[in-house]
Amino acid sequence: MKISRHTDYSLRVLVYLDLHRDKNVTIKEIAEAFATPRNHLVKVVHRLAKRGYIQTRRGKGGGMRLARASDQISLRDVVWDMEPNFELMDCDNPGCPISGSCAFKTALVEARESFLAALDRYSVDKMCHDHSRLRTLLGVAAA
């Protein structure tokens, strides 16, 4: 499985916000830290906020932060919410003459569920277990 760039950026935003639990963070800060296009991050942040992962605030002193503790944010949930489509095979488009007798789609559904179950064992907090190293890599001052 390969996750989309949108999902990748979503995970990066959540990691960055976890490293900054004590303050609001701007899109500009995250874009600079990850050398990521600001325009893409605007869309990512909007969707993360809409799904309840982050809180955003406009104006002076505004920015964003995690909406709940990072150990309560499952990677499975984030990937599931951010990915546009988890259908690994479409037997109907174009129509496949053996689709009624083939178990390939069943195998792929099982593989997808295993993939998601593995992600379910991880949270944003677990991704950020080495805060010190992540802060160094991203040029973030210690909290």
Name all domains of the chain by residue range, CATH numbers in brackets: 5-138 (1.10.10.10)
pLDDT: is 22 or 139 the higher one? 22
Write down the residue that tokens 């490293």 correspond to.
Answer: 19
pLDDT at residue 101 in the model: 78
Q: Is 84 exposed, middle or buried (0-12, 13-18, 19+ CB in 10 A)?
A: exposed
Three-state secondary structure call for residue 70: helix
pTM across the whole model: 0.84
pLDDT at residue 88 in the model: 73
CA distances from 138 to 30, 93, 133 (A): 9, 44, 9
